Amino acid sequence: MIGAVLLGPWEAALVAFLVAVLRNLLGTGTIFAFPGGIIGALLAGYLYRLTGRDLWAPLGEVTGTGLLGGLLSFPIAKFVLGKAVAAFFFVPPFTLSSLAGAITGYLVLQAIPKAYRRDKTTP
């Protein structure tokens, strides 16, 4: 979320992708790190850029990671991993996890001067 505000949505999505790759290589993450992290970063950056308001970045993070990422993890679990899970199985844990990160990120964001942030009018 901080990367989404400082860099923009596409750059934050790239960072989320690289973090997911790193977590998987180090054995601290799963394949489910990809949909949640990338979508959360994109939505956080997009909503911040659209509104210019700090509060929209964490809302985008939680919605993108928790709801959309959780829902997109279902077909990965079912069709790629062959696991029988309910469609909303991943939504509660993804939402709680992203909520904790979004709150922390929002608090850190308040300490970062506005001059370092991506201007919402730049492409």
Side chain identity at residue 108, one-letter code: V
Proportion of the chain above pLDDT 90, given as a percent: 77
The model scores a pTM over 0.75 = yes
Do 4 and 44 contact (CB within 8 A), yes or no? yes
Do 98 and 66 contact (CB within 8 A), yes or no? yes
What is the tens place of the pLDDT at every residue in 69-123? 999 999 999 888 888 888 889 999 999 999 999 999 999 999 988 887 766 554 4
What integer pLDDT is reported at residue 44 of this predicted model? Answer: 97
What integer pLDDT is reported at residue 67 of this predicted model? Answer: 96
